[in-house]
Amino acid sequence: DTGVSQDPRHKITKRGQNVTFRCDPISEHNRLYWYRQTLGQGPEFLTYFQNEAQLEKSRLLSDRFSAERPKGSFSTLEIQRTEQGDSAMYLCASMDKAGRGSDTQYFGPGTRLTVL
Amino acid sequence: AQSVSQHNHHVILSEAASLELGCNYSYGGTVNLFWYVQYPGQHLQLLLKYFSGDPLVKGIKGFEAEFIKSKFSFNLRKPSVQWSDTAEYFCAVSRVYNFNKFYFGSGTKLNVKP
């Protein structure tokens, strides 16, 4: 068990609906990442938080996607007006504070989104 | 933009065979390099990483990787694979001292026949 949890594990929605995913990182990890992974591909970076600040956002991320980490702990990823092309596994990873000697990402189990 | 290439999409080996998985990246600056593994039904987990120093890096479960700067490569090796090594392997890159963004390759599925 890596300690990063994601909810829900599976989500089926109809095109045009909004969905929200949650990620709970390992306690005290101040760095948090969201990725998207489609079949046959590796994880594709979406966005990065350090504490509550969103410091990096992929240019591939359309304005239908938004992520938050309001208190620097859990994070949410919302997709508005879902499209079939949004069907993918959404992964969350966390990393300990810089300087603690471990620049290792710990991944959660992912949320599998299916848009009908 | 940075990119990571893993040319072997699917590798099938018999137990005790040697393994080498290729990884090439495109980025002109200094990088951190990683190999991750995903066993069936499990999360992605770190296998090994290179930040600086000795270009031959040893990881868990007998895996090692060699960074060859002139070739922009970070190939993963294991002298003798086991059935339990059946998994998908991903190479990843980030800019040195910058952990804001990671780039992953498309992965290599390794199937080890008992």
Chain mean pLDDT for chain A: 92
Decide if A45 and B102 are in contact by the 8 Å CB cutoff.
yes
User: Any CB–CB contact under 8 A between A49 and chain B?
Assistant: no
- φ, ψ of residue A83 to 5 degrees: the values are -125, 160
Render pLDDT for A77-86 as a digit per residue (tens, 0 to 9): 999 999 999 9
**Per-residue confidence band for A104, with pLDDT thresholds at 50, 70 and 90:** confident
> B40-97: per-residue pLDDT in tens?
989 899 999 998 899 999 999 999 999 999 999 999 999 999 999 999 999 999 887 6
Whether pLDDT at B7 is above 90? no
- Contacts B100 to A, Cβ<8 Å: 48, 50, 55-56
Task: Name beta bridge partners: A33.
Answer: A48, A93
